[in-house]
Chain A
Amino acid sequence: MTRLSTLAGTWEPMSYAFLDASAKREVRRRMLKALAIPGHQVPYASREVPIARGWGTGGLQVTLSLLRPGLRVKVIDQGADDSVNAVNLRRFMMRTAAVEQTTDALEADIIQSRHRIPEETLAEGQILVLQVPDPEPLRPIEPDMSTARQMHGDADYGRMWLMLYEQIVRSGRVTQGAAYPAMVNGRHVMTPSPIPRWDLPKLHMARHITFLSAGREKRLHAVPPFTDVRPLVFDDVPFAVEDHATLTCAKSGLRGTFMNEIPLDDGGTLYETSDTGLAIKVLSTQGGTPQPIGTTWYPVTETQP
């Protein structure tokens, strides 16, 4: 007589990379659809994961569905590998999937990030997963997502340009800070997640894949390699990134990176490179242990710190 136990697999308290196979399959299918329609928000079930909603559960589900042993994963938050939430998400991936971790953007297979894109140019085969709090770029002008979906369907984006027009009327300039809306493949307006404007040009004609996933809002969208991504701007008013190109990192002497501004006791200000992975490699090289530094999207120079 055949015993049931010989037919069934051994019971384990948790699947590899937490999500069960059907959940992973569903996420992967949505990811493929998102790649097929660049910038289009694809609804997905978005399972509950053992991390609070709003803390990277969307990015986490995409990453978990891609993990396999031997992959190298980099997790950053605000550009930093040691930011507490990045550490926590990395711990979860290590605990459930036993992947390798790295802080080097060049050698990571998957980079999960909140609010930043690394300064070093990502290559073909790399996957960037951005955590998205609100996937809907039309939210400021249309809170109902059912109406917003219809507007995307019609490419009805007039009020987005009107929003920029109103900013110039009020402030004499476009005042949109982070999460600057972008037109993808000439068809869909997407939010690039709350990355600074500084990072947005890095998505245009990029060689890597970018997935943007919002767990709480249950939507994901993607930018496949070599896709046209342009900030939503008037043809005659140029897009301006944050004025950080001339700032110098007080720790590494780097110039040409996005900076964190640190207020000082004496009322002054100190800047440090936001991309800690890059800064650590530069510091290590300066300290006598050379590390390969990749090409960067912006011209980066080293000055004496």
Chain B
Amino acid sequence: MTAFIPDAPILIDQQPLLRVTAARRLYGSFVAVDDVSLEVWPGEVIGIVGESGSGKSTLLRMLNLEEPSNGGDYRLTLPGRAEQNLFDLDRFEKRALRARHIGIVYQNPHLGLMMHNSSSGNVAERLVVAGERRFAVMRRRATGALAASDFPLDRKDAPPIELSGGMQQRVQLAKAIALEPELLLLDEPTTGLDVSVQALVIDTLKRLQAERAITMIVVSHDLGVIRTLADRVLVMKQGRVVEQGLTDQVLHDPQHPYAQELVHARL
């Protein structure tokens, strides 16, 4: 499968921000991610859909450099990093790169947050990891990131454990964008939330995308989320990408039988 998509809305003088070639992940003999290739351009929002077990969340964790790979090549166009296969970095370098350039929001806030620390502290940790040592700067920027995530600031020192699911996702989002990362990864960011709360979180994500032109990859089994956010969409099944294209195209006129089944089942 070629990674180049002729329909993608790109400026020809730009480099893709992200280029993954033939990524693979095995659990014993089980192939979780199989030969996935992907290019993402700056400012683009990519949606990844598929049933649970299709490998989409595993792929996202690989892009966050927290899940090891069993082959493949992963590049981000970052100063001094463009020539490096990020899958090959050691633990220390992966952590540094992840902290500085990639933000992630997990479906399960327990994975992304220290539930008993203050919400502002959770966001501030990102700044500490990047080397910030001034309390006032940490707190101002954490407050700013929480505000940008539409988090109610009178609750900014409440621990996530005391917050609703929607508020927890906003804390995760604030933490993810605090350092203005090049790449924002969202793993089922609204799954499990009330429908009305889902809509509000999606509004925040849309506004952030419009204001900051953050490059995003959204994994969701909810086609509504994908339709609202994504420019392009990949359909995954059994670890492989079976179809990809512009969101409207894929959702209105799916070609692959599995994509058809998925779209019709959800509409």
Q: Are A158 and B125 in contact (CB under 8 A)?
A: yes
Q: Which residues of A contact B129 (CB under 8 A)?
A: 158
B51: A residues at CB distance < 8 A: none
- Cβ–Cβ < 8 Å partners of B212 in chain A: none
List of B residues within 8 angstroms of A154 by Cβ = 91-92, 95
Do A237 and B117 form a contact, CB below 8 Å, given A154-B91, A154-B95, A162-B124? no
Considering the chains assembled together, what is the distance between the CA atoms of A271 and B137 in angstroms? Answer: 40
CB–CB A162/B117 < 8 A: yes
> When each residue 128-170 of chain A gets 1 if its CB lies under 8 Å from chain B and 0 otherwise, what string results?
0000000000000000000000000110101101100110110
| Nearest CB of chain A from residue B257's CB, rounded to whole Å | 47
A243 contacts the other chain (Cβ, under 8 Å)? no
Query: What's the Cα separation between A156 and B134 when bound, in Å?
Result: 17
Q: Is there an interface contact between A169 and B135, defined as CB atoms closer than 8 Å? A: no
In whole Å, how far is B157's beta carbon from the nearest beta carbon of chain A? Answer: 5
Q: Report if A168-B135 is in contact (Cβ < 8 Å); known contacts: A154-B91, A154-B92.
A: yes
Query: Assuming the A-B contacts A162-B121, A166-B118, are A236 and B136 also in contact, with contact meaning beta carbons closer than 8 angstroms in the complex?
Result: yes
- CB pair B135–A158 under 8 Å, yes or no, is no
A235 to B129, CA, bound (A): 15
Consensus secondary structure, chain B interface: helix
Contact in complex: B118, A161 (CB < 8 Å): no
B215 in the interface (beta carbon within 8 A): no
Q: Which of A153, A166, A168 has the largest number of chain B CB atoms within 10 A?
A: A166
Which B residues touch A236, using CB under 8 A? 134-137
Q: Which of A153, A161, A169, A237 contacts B128 (CB 8 A)?
A: A161
Considering only residues 87-130 of chain B, those with a C-beta below 8 Å from chain A are 91-92, 95, 114, 117-118, 120-121, 124-125, 128-129
Q: Is the interface of A mostly helix, strand, loop or mixed?
A: helix
Please, which residues of chain A bring their CB within 8 A of the CB of B139?
165
With contacts A154-B91, A154-B92, A169-B118 taken as known, whether A235 is within 8 angstroms of B128 at the C-beta atoms is: no
Q: Chain B residues near A156 (CB, 8 Å)? A: 95
For residue A11, CB closer than 8 A to chain B, the reply is no
In the docked arrangement, what's the CA distance between A156 and B91, Å?
A: 12
* Closest CB in chain A relative to B68 CB, distance in Å: 16
Complex interface: chain B residues within 8 A of A168 (CB): 135
Question: Interface residue tally of chain A, by bracket?
Answer: 10 to 19
Size of chain B's interface in residues, with CB distance under 8 A?
20
Residue numbers in B under 8 Å from A235 (CB-CB): 133-135
Shortest distance between the CB of B119 and any CB in chain A (Å): 10
From residue 220 to 236 of chain A, which have CB atoms closer than 8 A to chain B? 234-236
Cross-chain contact A165 with B124 (CB below 8 angstroms)? yes
A153–B91 Cα gap in the complex (Å)? 11
B138 at interface, CB cutoff 8 A: yes
CB atoms of B118 and A234 under 8 A apart: no
Closest-CB distance, B252 to chain A (whole angstroms): 46
A234 touches B117 (CB 8 A): no
**Docked complex Cα distance between A236 and B137 (Å):** 9
B91 touches A169 (CB 8 A): no
- In the bound complex, residues from chain B placing their C-beta under 8 Å from that of A237 are 135
Contact A166 B121 (CB under 8 A): yes
Interface string of B72-95 (1 = CB under 8 A from A): 000000000000000000011001
B92 lies within 8 A of A165 (CB):
no
Verify B133–A234 contact, CB threshold 8 A.
Answer: yes
Q: In the complex, what distance in Å separates the CA atom of A91 from the CA atom of B139? A: 53
Chain A residues near B124: list those with CB within 8 A: 162, 165
- Residues in A neighbouring B114, C-beta threshold 8 A: 162
Contact B157 A234 (CB under 8 A): no
User: B121, A169: Cβ atoms under 8 Å?
Assistant: yes
B95: nearest residue on chain A (CB-CB)? A154
Say yes or no: A234-B120 contact (C-beta < 8 A), given A154-B91, A154-B92, A161-B128.
no
Q: How far is the CA of A99 from the CA of B120 in the complex (A)?
A: 56
Other than the given A162-B121, A162-B128, A169-B120, 7 more pairs (CB < 8 A) read A158-B129, A162-B117, A162-B124, A165-B138, A166-B118, A235-B134, A235-B135
Chain A residues within CB distance 8 Å of chain B: 153-154, 156, 158-159, 161-162, 165-166, 168-169, 234-237
Chain B residues engaging chain A, CB cutoff 8 angstroms = 91-92, 95, 114, 117-118, 120-121, 124-125, 128-129, 133-139, 157
A-B contact pairs, 20 of them (CB 8 A): A153-B92, A154-B91, A154-B92, A154-B95, A156-B95, A158-B129, A159-B125, A161-B133, A162-B114, A162-B124, A165-B118, A165-B138, A165-B139, A166-B118, A166-B121, A169-B157, A234-B135, A235-B135, A236-B135, A237-B135
